[in-house]
């Protein structure tokens, strides 16, 4: 708190508070949960789950108690299952419980594509969906640069890509967080910017579409109560809707496999 307060001269006027009493959060429009055990080098996000479950069971009821109309935005990993747990504990409608999901994964992918083609990442459009983790699904069939399909153009070195050759980029996206953790012990800047972009869309009612972790049942043929990332429109009421993005059969199959991965773990934990 003090470290942030000392930057007051460089910031818009803002009131920064910290407390161990949840009452300080009373009446919040949005509650962002980043608490959790730190991911170790080489540790999967799902292996973090056991260490974080009990923590969430103490945090979420307190946030709900003091801010019954808030939006819960979950950042802690494994984000999909912890967002599902937060939904179950809170009793909130699913549109007000959201996980950061693959919003950051999609940004990592856009950065890698932008670097290959020597363009600004703002001009790369596409999503990663599914689990925020090893079973995430890049939607290669709809990935574009300035409205041109990536699969139909050559990069700055004259290389043309296929779905198979692009798989190496997917591995880099999935391993991106692990590489940062290996180099500096934790991730912070990119996930911070990702979370800030979601908060702006929510509180400013921007109605932008982000790939975030939402209750997926009923979308794209998913028939189980799982949270995973789908392109979703965000506004002041939370999740306003899920975009119907075109997927080829292989992408849809992998999305279902991703949902099964999460479902199996939920069943093991009986949550």
Active-site residue list: 132
75 marked as part of a ligand binding site: yes
Please give the radius of gyration of the chain, using alpha carbons only, rounded to the nearest integer.
Answer: 19
Q: Is 52 annotated as a binding residue?
A: yes
DSSP state string for 159-194: -B--HHHHHHHHHHHHHHHHHHHHHHSS--HHHHHH
Give the residue carrying structure tokens 């934790």.
Answer: 186
Question: CA angle at residue 82 from 234 to 254, to 5 degrees?
Answer: 75
Token output for 162: 């296929």
Judge whether 95 is annotated as a binding position: no
Q: How many helices (H) and strands (E) does the chain have?
A: 7, 11
Nearest-5° angle of CA 177, CA 107, CA 226? 75
**Nearest to 242, CA basis, from 250, 234, 253:** 234
**Which two structure tokens, joined as six digits, stand for 44?**
């999967």
Specify whether the CB–CB gap between 92 and 69 falls below 8 A.
no
Does the bond joining 99 to the residue before it have cis omega, within 30 degrees of 0? no
- Residue 77 annotated in ligand binding: yes
- List the binding residues for NAD(+): 52, 75-77
């Amino acid at each position: 708190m003090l470290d942030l307060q000392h930057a007051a001269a460089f910031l818009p006027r803002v009131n920064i508070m910290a407390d161990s009493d949840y009452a300080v959060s009373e009446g919040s429009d949005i509650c962002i949960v980043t608490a959790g055990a730190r991911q170790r080098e080489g540790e999967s996000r799902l292996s973090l789950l056991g260490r974080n479950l009990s923590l969430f069971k103490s945090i979420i009821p307190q946030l709900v108690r003091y801010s019954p109309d808030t939006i819960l935005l979950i950042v802690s990993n494994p984000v999909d299952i912890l967002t599902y747990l937060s939904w179950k504990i809170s009793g909130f409608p699913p549109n007000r419980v959201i996980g950061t999901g693959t919003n950051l994964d999609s940004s990592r992918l856009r950065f890698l594509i932008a670097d290959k083609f020597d363009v600004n990442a703002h001009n790369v459009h596409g999503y990663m969906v599914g689990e925020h983790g090893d079973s995430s699904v890049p939607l290669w069939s709809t990935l574009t640069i300035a409205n041109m399909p990536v699969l139909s153009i050559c990069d700055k070195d004259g290389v043309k890509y296929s779905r198979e050759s692009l798989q190496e980029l997917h591995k880099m996206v999935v391993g991106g967080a692990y590489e940062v953790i290996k180099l500096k012990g934790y991730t912070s800047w990119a996930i911070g910017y990702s979370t800030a972009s979601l908060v702006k869309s929510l509180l400013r009612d921007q109605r932008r579409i982000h790939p975030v972790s939402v209750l997926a049942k009923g979308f794209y043929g998913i028939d189980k109560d799982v949270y995973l990332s789908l392109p979703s429109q965000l506004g002041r009421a939370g999740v306003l809707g899920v975009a119907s993005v075109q997927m080829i059969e292989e992408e849809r199959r992998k999305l279902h496999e991703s949902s099964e991965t999460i479902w199996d773990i939920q069943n093991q934990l009986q949550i």
